Structure 1
Amino acid sequence: MTQFATVIAPEKKAELLRKVDGAVDVEAIEKLVAERKLTSEGMSASSVAEVREQMERAQARRLQPHFVGAFFREAFTLLGGRIAEREKGRFEILRVPSILKERDRLIGRSDPVLDRYARITFEKALIVGKPQAELVAPGHPLLEALVDVVLERFQPLLSQGGVLVDEADEIQAPRLLVYLEHAVRDARTGRSGEPHTISQRLQFLFLKEDGTATDGGPAPYLDCRPITPEERLVVADSISAPWLAGNVETQALGYAVRALVPEHLNEVRSRRIAEIDKVEREVRARLNREINYWDARSARLREEERAGKEQRINAQNAEATAARLVERLHRRQTELDRERQISALPPVLKGAALVIPGGLLRVQTASTPAAQPDGFSEDPVARAEIERLAMDAVFASERALGHDPRDVSAEKKGWDIESRDRKAGHLRFIEVKGRQADGREVIVTKNEILASLNAAEAFILAIVQVDGGFAREPVYVRRFFGRELGFAETAVVFDIATLMASGLPPG
C-alpha cells in the first residue's frame, strides 16, 4: 500500500506559526491574570526581590530555635523538670512537672502533655533519628503550657520594672526600655464579641531623659543582663532620677500613637485593602453571573409552564435559587465591608526596664583601661571615629566586590550593614567591629550571635583594625560561634587574634 504524506512548504509553515503567535496576546493574558487572581502570586521581579529580602531578614532575626531552646531548658528546669541532652541538639525529658500537665488540661487544644519524652528537639533538621524527636516550637502543647505558667508567675514583674546593664553600650546616659503591645483590627467580632485582631506586634522603644524616644529594635533586652547589688549602689542616683518618676508612660504611649501605630496600621491596611478589593470584585462577578442565569431561566420556565410543557425544575424553584444568591451576595458584601473597616486599637504598656550602659558603669567606678575589653578607646570621640573608619572600610570593600551596602546600624537588628549581592540578589548581614591596632578582645552581643546562628551562610563578622587614624583591610569571619548559647548569656568576649586567624580578606 502506498502512503502519502502531506508536505508543507517552509514559507507556508512560517506563515502559520506567525498567525498562531499573533493569536496569543501574552501581555493581555498577564494583565487578565493580574486582575482576576485572588492571591499575591505572580509578582514582578522587583516585588519578588523585596519579599525575598524580607524573608532573609526574618530568618536572621528569628528566635527559633536557639533562643526558644535556651528559654525552654532554663524555664523547664526552674519548674522542676528533668531534661538531658542525648545527642547534639536532641534531648530526653525524664520528667514533666505536674504543674505543666495540669495547665495543659486547662488550656490544651491539641495533643496532651506526656509524662516523659524519649526525644525532643528545637530544630527541624534534627527530628529524624532513633528515636524520632518531637519538634518543640510555638504551638507545641508542652511549650504552650510552660509559657503560660511562666507568664502567670512573672508577668507582674514586667509592670513593676527592673534594672538591666548593657555591657556593649558605651554611652554614659541611662535609657528606659519600654515594651508596648499594639494591634490592628477590623469590624468583625469573635464568638464572644471581642474585636477580631488581624495583626499584633510587641514593640520596644527607648526613652531618654530629655523626653525623646527611639525605636529599640526587635529584641534589645537580649543584650542586657540583670544589675548586681554592687553596681546598683554605684548608679543609685541614676536609678532614682526624677525624670523616671515623671510622666514616662504618657511619653511612651504618645510616641507609639504618633509613630509606631500609624506605621503598623498603614502597612496592614495597604495589604488587606488590596486583597479585599480583589475578593469583592470576583465575588460580585461570580454571584451576579449566577443570579442573572437563574433569573433568565425562571423566566423561560414560566413561559414553558404557560405553554403546558413539563420541566424537571419549575419556575418557582429557579426564582428561589436566584433569591438565595441575592441574599448570599448581600451577606458576603456586608462581611467584606466589615473587613475593610480596619482600625488600630490603643497601644498597651506591658512593662519597662531601666538600662544602664556599660560606659556609665565604667565611668562611675573610675575603671582602668584593663577593666574593659582591651582595644576600646576611653575617649568617646575617639571610639566614634574608630567605628566610622571601620564602617567606611567595610563599605569600600563591599562596593569593590560589586555589592550594594546599606547602613542599618541605627535600626539595632543585630548587624550594622546589609549588603545586597547584585548577581545573586541575596543579602549579606555584616557586623562591623572596629578596634585599635593593639586591641586584643572584641565583644559580640547575643542578638549578633543569634543572627550569626540563624543565617550562618549570610552573616559576616568584619573586624577592622585602625592604626594611626587609618583603617586596615577588613577581615571577614564566618561561623565564629559553634556552641549552644546559654539563656543567661548576653555577650561573648572573643580574642581578636584567634578570630582573625580564621578569617579571610573580603575578596
Structure 2
Amino acid sequence: VEDFFVAAGPIAGIHPSPVRGKEHVYRVGKIPKTLSTIAEKLEPRFGRMGREYQRVVFDKRLLGDDATHEWVTPGHPLFEAIRSDVTDRVGGDLRRGAVLWDLHTKNPYRLDVFAASIKDGRGNTLHKKLFVVRTDLDGSFTLRQPTVFLDIMVADKNARAPVTPPLPDKTAVEVYLVEQALKHFLTEVSDQRANENRVVREHIEISLQELINRQQLVLADLLNRRVAGENIPGLEGNISQAEAHVDELNARLDRRRQELDMERHCTIGDVHHLGRAWVLPHPDRQAPNIAPMVRDAEIEKIAVRIATEHEQARGWFVESVETENRGYDLLSRKPHPTEPGVFIAARFIEVKGRAAVGEVSLTANEYRTAQRLGDDYWLYVVFDCAASPDLKLIQDPAQLGWVAVVKVEHYHVTAQKILEAAGE
C-alpha cells in the first residue's frame, strides 16, 4: 500500500514527502482540486475526503498516540481517489500493452491481465479480483498471481515484442480463465454468500416473526374488545391501524425473503481484459556479474525441500507459496500445543539454493518484503546443493548490507556475509 501510494501520488498531483526522523510517515499537504472532484463522486462509497493531510501512515501500528497521523489504506477516501485517478490516466497505456524483462526466464512469454467480479441476483458486486494468465510459446496457459509483476521489470524503450508463431487469441485466454479460475472463484464466493444469507435469513425470520406475533396479539385484543361490545373511543380506528401494521410487517417479510432468494444466487460478471504484456529474457542474464543471480530450478527445488524438511522436523506446519510472488517461498507456522488449528508463531521464509558456496541475491520484491517483515522474515540459504546440502538460517536478512544491482533490480550479498550472519 505504501509503495503504491508513494509511486502513484505524483501522477495524481500529490507529492508525499517523508517526515524527518519518522520512518514510513509522510506529509501530503493540501489536496488538489482534481482529486477533490473525484473524491466527491466516490463519497457515497468511501466517505468524505479531507482538504489537507499533514501526516499519513500505512501501518496501524504507527498511529501511536499522535492524533495528527492519518491511517491510509484501501477504502480510505484519499487512497481510493488516487487509485481512481491513476487508473483513468494509465488506462490507455494498459490497453496498448508493455514489454518487460524477466531475469529468470529463458524464453519469452505473454501475460494477459483480467478483472472479474462475482455478482448476486440483485446485481450487487460481491467480490472483484485481478487475474493473470501466462501464455508460453507452445500455446500452453498458466494461471499466475497479479504479484508476478513485482518480480519482473520494465524493459528499455528499444525493446520490442517478439515475432512468434500464432498464439491463442484473447477469447481463448478468457475461456481458460473461466474454466480454471473463475468457476472456482464463483464457487468460493457462492459458498460464503450462502452462509451469510442463511444467518441473515434466520435473523430476519426471528425478528420479523416476533414483531408480527406481537402486533397480532394487539389486534386480537382490540377485536375481542369489539366483540365484547366495549365502548372505547377510537376503537375502530385502532383496529384499522393494527391490521395495516400486520399487513405491512407481512409484506416486509415477504419482500426480504424474495430479496434474500435473489441475493443467494451468484454469477460471474464484468470480465474485463485490462492489458497485455510481453515478457522477454533479460538481455544481460548471461553476463558474468549477473549470471550468478539467475535462478536454477533444480537447485532451488533441492533447497526448498531441505528448508521444508527442517521446519517439519521442528513440528511446524509449512505451506509453499512459491508461485504467488509474495516475496517469500514458505509460510511456516508453529501450532498451539493444545488447540488444533491455532498457530502461535510464524516465519516467512525465502529460500535460496546454491550448487556450491556463492553469493546470494534477492529480487526487489523479496528485499522490500524482508524490510517490511523484519524479524518475522527469514532467509534460508542452502549451500552445496549439488553435493552435500548445508542449510544456513538468517533472521531479518535485510540488515546484511545488500548491494543493489540496478540493472536487474536485484540485491546481492557475499557468501561470507551469509556465513557470518548464520554464526559461522
TM-score range, shorter chain: 0.7 to 0.9
* Cα deviation 1:388-420 (Å, max 9, x = unaligned): 221222122112212122333234433222222
Match of 1:265 among 183, 186, 192: 186
Q: 2:414 corresponds to which residue?
A: 495
Cα drift, residue 430 of structure 1: 1.4
Q: 1:343 corresponds to which residue?
A: 267
- For 1:208-247, what aligned pairs fall within 5 Å after superposition? 208-229=136-157, 232=159, 239-243=162-166, 246-247=167-168
Q: 2:99 corresponds to which residue?
A: 163
Q: 1:291 to 1:136 in 2, by over 3 A?
A: closer
Aligned counterparts of 1:93 and 1:298: Cα–Cα separation in 2: 62
Match of 2:245 among 305, 321, 331: 321
Cα drift, residue 490 of structure 1: 4.4
Q: 1:481 to 1:336 in 2, by over 3 A?
A: farther
State the one-letter code of the partner of 1:122. F
Q: 2:340 corresponds to which residue?
A: none
State the one-letter code of the partner of 1:91. Y
Give TM-score scaled by structure 2 length.
Answer: 0.83
Aligned counterparts of 2:48 and 2:119: Cα–Cα separation in 1: 30
Contact 2:375-2:395 at 8 Å conserved across structures: no
Q: 1:142 to 1:279 in 2, by over 3 A?
A: closer
Q: 1:184 to 1:376 in 2, by over 3 A?
A: closer
Q: Does 1:134 align with 2:70?
A: yes
State the one-letter code of the partner of 1:214. T
Q: 1:147 corresponds to which residue?
A: 83
Q: Alignment partner of 1:319: what SS?
A: helix
Listed as ranges, the gaps of 5+ residues in structure 2 are 337-342
Q: 1:469 corresponds to which residue?
A: 387
State the one-letter code of the partner of 1:398. E
* Cα deviation 1:135-192 (Å, max 9, x = unaligned): 343344444443333222221111110001122x2x312111111100011122xxxx
Aligned counterparts of 2:30 and 2:223: Cα–Cα separation in 1: 75
Which is further off, 394-403 or 465-474? 465-474
Which is further off, 251-260 or 84-93? 84-93
Aligned counterparts of 2:293 and 2:14: Cα–Cα separation in 1: 43
- For 1:306-455, what aligned pairs fall within 5 Å after superposition? 306-310=227-231, 314-358=238-282, 361-362=283-284, 367-368=286-287, 370-374=288-292, 383-423=296-336, 424-440=343-359, 442-455=360-373
Aligned counterparts of 1:292 and 1:130: Cα–Cα separation in 2: 52
Contact 1:81-1:96 at 8 Å conserved across structures: no
Aligned counterparts of 1:482 and 1:155: Cα–Cα separation in 2: 40
Q: Does 1:197 align with 2:125?
A: yes
Contact 1:375-1:436 at 8 Å conserved across structures: no
Q: Alignment partner of 1:251: what SS?
A: helix
Contact 2:27-2:56 at 8 Å conserved across structures: yes
Q: Which protein has greater RCO, CA pairs closer than 8 Å, 6+ apart?
A: 1
**RMSD of aligned residue pairs (Cα, Å):** 3.3
Q: Alignment partner of 2:121: what SS?
A: strand
Q: Alignment partner of 2:398: what SS?
A: coil
State the one-letter code of the partner of 2:60. K
Q: 1:324 to 1:157 in 2, by over 3 A?
A: same
Q: Does 1:253 align with 2:181?
A: no
Q: Alignment partner of 1:309: what SS?
A: coil
Contact 1:375-1:439 at 8 Å conserved across structures: no
Q: Does 1:177 align with 2:111?
A: yes
Cα drift, residue 470 of structure 1: 1.7
Give TM-score scaled by structure 1 length.
Answer: 0.71
Cα drift, residue 465 of structure 1: 0.6
Q: 1:284 to 1:179 in 2, by over 3 A?
A: same
State the one-letter code of the partner of 1:241. T
Q: Alignment partner of 1:345: what SS?
A: strand
Aligned counterparts of 2:176 and 2:21: Cα–Cα separation in 1: 48
* Paired positions, count: 409
Which is further off, 195-204 or 94-103? 94-103
Contact 1:435-1:466 at 8 Å conserved across structures: yes
Cα drift, residue 74 of structure 1: 5.3
Contact 1:104-1:113 at 8 Å conserved across structures: no
Contact 1:477-1:500 at 8 Å conserved across structures: no
Q: 1:262 to 1:82 in 2, by over 3 A?
A: closer
Q: 1:374 to 1:465 in 2, by over 3 A?
A: same
Match of 1:122 among 11, 33, 58: 58
Cα drift, residue 296 of structure 1: 4.7
Listed as ranges, the gaps of 5+ residues in structure 1 are 1-63, 189-194, 378-382
Q: 1:105 to 1:296 in 2, by over 3 A?
A: closer
Cα drift, residue 219 of structure 1: 1.2
Cα drift, residue 281 of structure 1: 2.8
Cα drift, residue 422 of structure 1: 2.5
State the one-letter code of the partner of 1:354. W
Aligned counterparts of 1:271 and 1:488: Cα–Cα separation in 2: 45
Q: State the structure with more CA Rg.
A: 1
Identity value in percent: 25
State the one-letter code of the partner of 2:162. I
Aligned counterparts of 1:324 and 1:119: Cα–Cα separation in 2: 51
* Cα deviation 1:265-303 (Å, max 9, x = unaligned): 111110111221232233223333443443354344323
Cα drift, residue 462 of structure 1: 0.8
Q: 1:186 to 1:141 in 2, by over 3 A?
A: closer
Contact 2:39-2:48 at 8 Å conserved across structures: no
Cα drift, residue 435 of structure 1: 1.3
Contact 2:133-2:143 at 8 Å conserved across structures: yes
